[in-house]
Amino acid sequence: MSDMDDFVDVTVSRGGRQVSAGCYKLPVSVGRGEHNAIRIGHDPQDKTVSRTHAIIQRDGTGLRLIDKSANGTIYRGARIKQGNSIGLGTTDHFEIFEFSVTVSKAKHDPSIPVIFEAHVLVDGYMKGKPFLIGEMMLLCFRRGKGYRFEQVPVRADFETICSNHRIDDEHAFAAIVGHRGAGHLFTQTAQNRPVILVNKQPIGETSIILHPRDVIEIQNIRIELYPPGENSLKCSNPSCQLLNPYVLTGNCRFCSFGLVGAVTRVAAATRKVQS
């Protein structure tokens, strides 16, 4: 699971004009080669910029800049030589020839509400802490015969993240995203992903709207989407076990099984703040 400490906002300018800006997962490589998260000096080709010129990486709670180039990187007027590194401030900048690179640690935006508190269960057991969906989205990766989940900011550079995972033979096949106050499930086409059930129903679309208390199932994995700050009831019918509003005297909205004796689930998050 990732948090905002794993991400940085990076703006690149040339001659006073912004040429790129984005949110990237650490470590972030900068250079002329196609493999870099941030490419500079490639159009037109400028061989004074190395294929991998510099790397920004996490250093405890801070950031560190490492030079990998033949010609060095300028930081506060001093040249950092190949293999050397220096700590960066929360917001800082460095120069690679004509390019000025500004780096800031990514921060939460408290104005973006939490849409869901997502609980991931494997074989019926909770896996890690809940994921808060709103400012952050939940990516689902397939690796070999297993699956992995990672939370990233909605504004992050999605293609770079997925490219890095493909190097590790992990492939993103679905994303749970909050957008404009609503939840969405985006997936690859059916032939490129495992069977996905939403509330026990297989989905064929590559994009569907998600609602509070929906349940997503992928083989032995279950993702329960809770409305933040509200209680829910999990149906005790073994063939159902879907989620319902907290009405003890009611019946399950899916199978009509009585909710007396149903398991209470509590979502601790609030809609207002992600921290």
Q: What is the pLDDT, as a whole number, of residue 71?
A: 95
Q: What is the pLDDT, as a whole number, of residue 53?
A: 98
What does residue 130 show for φ and ψ, rounded to 5 degrees?
-60, 150
What distances in angstroms separate CA 251 from CA 87, 197, 211, 271, one per listed residue?
A: 59, 22, 19, 27
Question: How far is Cα 4 from Cα 61, in angstroms, rounded to an integer?
Answer: 11
**Residues 139-161: pLDDT tens digits?**
999 888 789 899 999 888 777 77
First to last CA, the chain: 14
Q: Which regions in the chain score pLDDT beneath 70?
A: 1-2, 163-168, 269-275
Q: What is the pLDDT, as a whole number, of residue 192?
A: 84
Q: What is the pLDDT, as a whole number, of residue 237?
A: 95
CB atoms inside a 10 Å sphere around CB 162: 14
| Predicted model pTM | 0.84
Which contacts (CB < 8 Å, 24+ apart) does range 253-256 have? 254/199, 254/200
**Residues 14-37: pLDDT tens digits?**
999 999 999 999 999 999 999 999
Q: What is the pLDDT, as a whole number, of residue 2?
A: 52
Q: What is the pLDDT, as a whole number, of residue 165?
A: 58
As beta bridge partners, residue 17 has: 14
| CA-CA-CA-CA dihedral for 87, 89, 95, 101, to nearest 10 | 130
- Which domains are assigned to the chain? 4-105 (2.60.200.20), 116-226 (2.60.200.20)
